[in-house]
Amino acid sequence: MPEALQHIITELTPWLQEYGYFLLFVAIAVEGFGIPAPGQSLLIVASLLAATGQMSLPLVLIVAACGALSGNSLGYFIGWRFGDVLLKKGWIKPQLEDKIHSVISQYGIAALVLSRFVEGLKQFMFIGCGLAKMPLKQFIIGNSLATSIWVTLFGLGPVLIRDQIAPILAFYHQHKYPAWAIISLLLAALLVFIWRKWQLKSDSK
């Protein structure tokens, strides 16, 4: 197993053993409204602990999904209701606001999904959605998609591929940018497919 992953497991396992699902929920939730936390790392470690019977995999997935959905929704509400205050206080820089607005207006729901996998962006994207006054229905769809894909990859994925994690991570670190390009294209294609299905269903009503 790669040294970096082993270090994460060694560091975070005692915290999960001590505080369990509560810590997992809080760490994932606070990322949704702008507070950096090791939510993703905790989810991976919790998944691996579930694979050895130390935690319940269904509970890990449910807690992670609830944490992400609630934290992201709170971030959206904060941005919608208090966005002007955050800007005046300087807690959100105008440059960051412009960047988030540009990404949201250009990519819509896809921006929500992809931002869940980008450190730095995922902590502010959901506040940015509220700040940009993204329609609630669009936000709910994007938040649900982003959470579902993220929990599947980092909650269920480590259990399914735990024996192959080392070679996969080694390959990823060697080919990081091509890997992200392929993942982004696949996610974009999935989103376009889902969006078209949803539009066809809406038009038929």
For 146-186, what is each residue's pLDDT tens digit? Answer: 899 899 988 988 887 765 555 655 665 566 667 666 776 77
SS (H, E, C) 29-64: HHHCCCCCCCHHHHHHHHHHHHHCCCCCHHHHHHHH
Tokens for 201, please give them: 């269903």
Residue 161's CB: how many other CB atoms inside 10 A?
11
- What gap in Å lies between CA 158 and CA 156, rounded to an integer? 6
**For the segment 95-139, what is each residue's pLDDT rounded down to a tens digit?**
777 777 777 777 778 878 877 877 777 778 888 888 888 889 889
Please give the share of the chain, as a percent, with pLDDT higher than 90.
25
Q: How confident is the model at residue 199 (pLDDT cuts 50, 70, 90)?
A: low
Structural domain boundaries of the chain? Answer: 3-163
Nearest to 130 by CA among 69, 81, 67: 81
